Amino acid sequence: MPGAPSSSWQLFWSRTKTRFGGADLRVCAAFWLFGLVNNILYVIILSAALDLVGPSIPKATVLLASIIPGLATKLVVPYFIHLIPYSLRIFIFTTLSTCGMLAVALSPATTTASSISAKVAGIVLANISSGAGEVNFLSLTHFYGTFSLAAWGSGTGGAGLIGAGAYAIATNELGISVHAALLTSALLPLIMLVSFFGLLPRGPLQAARAMDLVYHPVQAEDDEEHENAGLLEQPGHAPSSEAFSHQNQSWLRRGLHDLKAKLTRARTLFVPYMIPLFLVYTAEYTINQGVSPTLLFPLKESPFKHYRAFYPTYGALYQLGVFISRSSLALFQVRALYIPSILQVGNLILLTLHALWPFLPNVYFVFAIVLWEGLLGGLVYVSTYAAVRDEVPEEDREFSLGAVAVSDSAGICLAAFLGVAMESCLCSWQVAHGRDWCRQL
């Protein structure tokens, strides 16, 4: 019997290794940090929205400044980012993020037009980096296996909890100024740099790139010989054209052909992967930005002393659900992506109806639905990219993982516009029907 605990531990460890076979701790740690740092600045900026623009300017201004640059970046970056080495990309992302957060932190603590313009410019820089970074790191998971994707997803989920929680604790509990908190966050992108060059094993990436270097020049030579033969067959064409000019023409043709092929691939990703991801993000961010601020109850029937406490509590529960589900890929994966997406649309309809004609008996039912909302959103996110890894041919996988990333930003962008209109309309409806709590936030 003295050996029983040891045997039980060995059995547990054996089963764990079977389930998590092939997982490299350094790879998982690196990708978890990539997901955390790439997303945490976005979360901190949204958490600081009131402090950045003041009470008189709609907070959706900050959301739009955060999401539109990322959306534009994700639309174009997948088609040319392969021309930039991964190591150089990391330097670019770190520089853009750091400069963006410094611009936000060092802008005057006023709500003048020039100050807000400087802050918005910094937010734009930081989120261009975040958008391109998501494309980059999702593409990079192609070389490091399923557990790199699971670690990335968990890190992005952790960014919501850690970013919002750290900012709230620093500015509310510890008394750290907004300026100091934002200035400190400008150092966070350095973690991404250290993780790539000091933590991530470079072997898989170098081996893949070495294979590319062996293959592509041979293909290029074959193409060039074929093109030369075609030129010689054309009557009246001078066979003595300069090699430099011909190589440039060949390079341009291959570039255009590659772009056309990628656009064709992107169209095949639309229905199976991009639509469900777009739907789930549109629904959940419309809930978060447009409906949640109106999901209020009488204070005597709630655990709160102030109406403004409802919204951050909903946000925290949502982020908890996202973190749990984005960390679940190592354990299970949803194959039918449209089912949780449609369920998320159902959450939007349900909570909107409650905001109009209240029928949920107390706030705890809303807590449960918001937590469920976060679980569904995170589950669709990681399961979508896992499906791309499983179902897309290997030669197209690196591009496809990055190209699908535009879906969530497009959904958030649409939700930002819908949210502004819905919050205003729902609040006006409630006031007209004797519930003016939304005016007391």
What are the pLDDT digits (tens) for 172-189? 778 888 889 899 999 999
At residue 4, the pLDDT reads: 53
pLDDT, average across residues 28-33 = 95
Q: Is residue 286 part of a domain?
A: yes
At residue 433, the pLDDT reads: 94
pLDDT tens per residue across span 302-347: 998 888 788 888 888 999 999 999 999 888 889 999 999 999 999 9
Looking at the structure, tell me whether residues 423 and 286 fall in a common domain. yes
pLDDT tens per residue across span 362-380: 999 999 999 999 999 999 9
What domain range includes position 299?
A: 268-441
Q: Is residue 163 part of a domain?
A: yes
Q: Which residue has the higher pLDDT, 308 or 238?
A: 308
Nearest to 107 by CA among 98, 88, 120: 120
DSSP 8-state assignment for residue 195: I
* Lowest-confidence region among 30-39, 55-64, 176-185, 290-299: 55-64
| Other Cβ atoms closer than 10 A to 233 | 8
Q: Tokens 């008394």 label which residue?
A: 175
Task: Give the pLDDT band (50/70/90) at residue 286.
Answer: very high
Q: Is residue 217 part of a domain?
A: no
Task: Check: CB of residue 413 under 8 Å from CB of residue 68.
Answer: yes
Looking at the structure, tell me whether residues 161 and 296 fall in a common domain. no
CA–CA separation, 191 and 183 (whole Å): 15
Q: Is residue 414 part of a domain?
A: yes
Task: Check: CB of residue 135 under 8 Å from CB of residue 79.
Answer: no
Task: Check: CB of residue 399 under 8 Å from CB of residue 265.
Answer: yes
Which residues, including other chains, have CB under 8 Å from residue 41's CB and lie 6 or more apart?
A: 97, 100, 101, 126, 130, 163, 185, 188, 189
Amino acid at 13: W
What is the phi/psi pair of residue 71, to 5°? -65, -45
CA–CA separation, 105 and 119 (whole Å): 8
- Structurally, the chain folds into a number of domains equal to 2
Task: Check: CB of residue 180 under 8 Å from CB of residue 57.
Answer: no
- Residue 405: which CATH number? 1.20.1250
Task: Give the pLDDT band (50/70/90) at residue 411.
Answer: very high
Looking at the structure, tell me whether residues 290 and 383 fall in a common domain. yes
Q: Is residue 263 part of a domain?
A: no
- Quote the tokens at residue 388: 């791309």
In angstroms, how far is the first alpha carbon of the chain from the final one?
62
At residue 145, the pLDDT reads: 85
Nearest to 126 by CA among 86, 185, 195, 181: 185
Task: Give the pLDDT band (50/70/90) at residue 58.
Answer: low
pLDDT tens per residue across span 267-279: 999 999 999 999 9
Nearest to 208 by CA among 135, 145, 134: 145
- Residue 39: which CATH number? 1.20.1250.20
